[in-house]
Amino acid sequence: MGQDSNPSVSFFYHFATLEDPRSERCQLHKLGDILFLAVCAMLGGANDFVAMEKFGHAKWYWLKKFLELPNGVPSHDTIGRVFSLLDSEHFIRCFLGWVQTIHRVTAGEIIGVDGKTVRASLDRAKGQGPLHVVSAWASANRVVLGQVTVDEKSNEVTAIPRLLEMLELQGGIVTIDAMGCQKEVAAKVRERGADYVLTVKGNQGHLEEDIVGYFAALDEGSKRNRQRSQATHRCKGHGRVETRWCDAVPVPKTLRHLDDWKDLRSICRVTRVWTEGGREKSEVRYFISSLPADAQALAQAILGHWGIENGLHWVLDMYFAEDRSRARTEHAAANLAVLRRWIVTLLRQDKTLKASIEKKRLQAGWNEEILERLLGLS
């Protein structure tokens, strides 16, 4: 298949080591041809294997510029079978190799780690739970840094350390919701050279109780802390006005099991107030961090964490129909999840088209010059 003049940058280069899982007698279509077709088709708007086959027939003459296709366009069954058989762990490692050539974590960059369930991958007849994908998202550049897949949301606890081990995190700030508020996770983040901001809920013994109690004492005046830092942030969007108040203090020595949390330096409280449907609503959340007690910096990290929800998860459901994907056979769901995140990252990195993800995909499907440019083929 065609490659960019600089193979260390071309993502096709990083997928050359994938082994074909099919027996030789079943290899009527080259593995590289099938993967190339799948990438092009998804860039051009295809969300499932049937649409990929139709894209192949519609773009036959263009595809022949780069592929031999000795037995024509592979059928959707063939494409689906290859995706179900491909080693998903190897596929992810290939993806990570490509990402690391286009992105380096910079000092202070916010890296949101969060899970997402592919609901339609549930198969009750086979006793198979829905696929759960844990992704790492660089908020500033909106790049998927990596992912791991598990078969249930509860397994996210074990998936997060595996994901962190795969990533280059030096100098970054890793933000994780309450599921990832684990001593082992905090230690792994620090081991990888990054700082952490972890959401606290009642899953860690007395941790939330002690933090809530400490801030309550500060509010009542029974405790004082001269190093208390505060920040306020107001924003408008989606028809509502939201105000956030952030309080941060150095970690109190009275916090139980303090030494269990690697390099814990501060605790933080964020109070959100917003109006929705004419009614005022509020929410209070608590956090621990290896960062100093700087309310402004902590508030930015916490706000930045939501980038993975808005910039990735929402896009995957809205434009790639991930939540409705019924690919279930063996590794198909996991490999399609990798491919979607690969395409989102590729489109986010493009600066030549001033358009949304949806409109970029439409243009890639309509205009072969744009498709070639996005793929690094021109």
pLDDT score of 128: 61
pLDDT digits (tens, 9 = 90+) for 149-206: 887 666 788 899 999 998 989 999 999 998 899 999 999 999 999 999 999 988 787 9
Q: 180, 130, 202, 201: which is closest to 308 by C-alpha?
A: 180
Whether residue 60 is found in the same domain as residue 209: no
The enclosing H or E element of 76 equals helix 76-85
pLDDT score of 84: 93
Residue 329 and residue 84: Cα distance in Å, rounded? Answer: 6
pLDDT score of 4: 41
What's the pTM value of the predicted model, to 2 decimals? 0.86
Whether residue 139 is found in the same domain as residue 251: yes
At 93, the pLDDT band (50, 70, 90 cuts) reads confident
The enclosing H or E element of 336 equals helix 332-349
By mean pLDDT, which of 38-47, 72-81, 101-110 is the weakest?
Answer: 101-110
Last residue of a domain, one of 278, 313, 348: 313
Whether residue 145 is found in the same domain as residue 243: yes
Whether residue 261 is found in the same domain as residue 290: yes
Residues in the chain: 378
**Residue of higher predicted confidence among 23 and 72:** 72
pLDDT score of 8: 37
Whether residue 174 is found in the same domain as residue 286: yes
The pair of three-digit structure tokens given for residue 370, joined into one six-digit string: 């744009």
pLDDT score of 224: 85
Going 91 to 92 to 94 to 99, the CA torsion angle's sign is: positive
pLDDT digits (tens, 9 = 90+) for 259-308: 999 999 999 999 999 887 778 889 999 999 999 999 999 999 999 898 88
SS3 243: strand
Residue 315 and residue 168: Cα distance in Å, rounded? Answer: 25
Flag whether 50 is in a domain: yes
State the DSSP code for 329.
Answer: S
Flag whether 236 is in a domain: yes
Whether residue 131 is found in the same domain as residue 222: yes
Flag whether 318 is in a domain: no
Residue 24 and residue 83: Cα distance in Å, rounded? Answer: 17
Whether residue 143 is found in the same domain as residue 77: no
By mean pLDDT, which of 57-61, 177-181, 186-190, 243-247 is the weakest?
Answer: 177-181
At 101, the pLDDT band (50, 70, 90 cuts) reads confident
Residue 45 and residue 216: Cα distance in Å, rounded? Answer: 52
To the nearest whole number, what is the mean pLDDT of the chain?
88
Last residue of a domain, one of 313, 345, 366: 313
Residue 308 and residue 137: Cα distance in Å, rounded? Answer: 6
Whether residue 209 is found in the same domain as residue 65: no
Whether residue 206 is found in the same domain as residue 302: yes
The pair of three-digit structure tokens given for residue 232, joined into one six-digit string: 């306020």
Last residue of a domain, one of 262, 288, 313: 313
Whether residue 117 is found in the same domain as residue 192: yes
Total count of domains within the chain = 2
Flag whether 323 is in a domain: no
Whether residue 80 is found in the same domain as residue 191: no
Flag whether 29 is in a domain: yes
Flag whether 319 is in a domain: no
Flag whether 321 is in a domain: no
Flag whether 61 is in a domain: yes
At 237, the pLDDT band (50, 70, 90 cuts) reads low
Other CB atoms closer than 10 Å to residue 220's CB: what's the count?
8
pLDDT score of 154: 64
pLDDT score of 3: 41
Amino acid letter at 230? Answer: Q
Whether residue 63 is found in the same domain as residue 117: no
**Residues of the domain holding 256:** 103-313
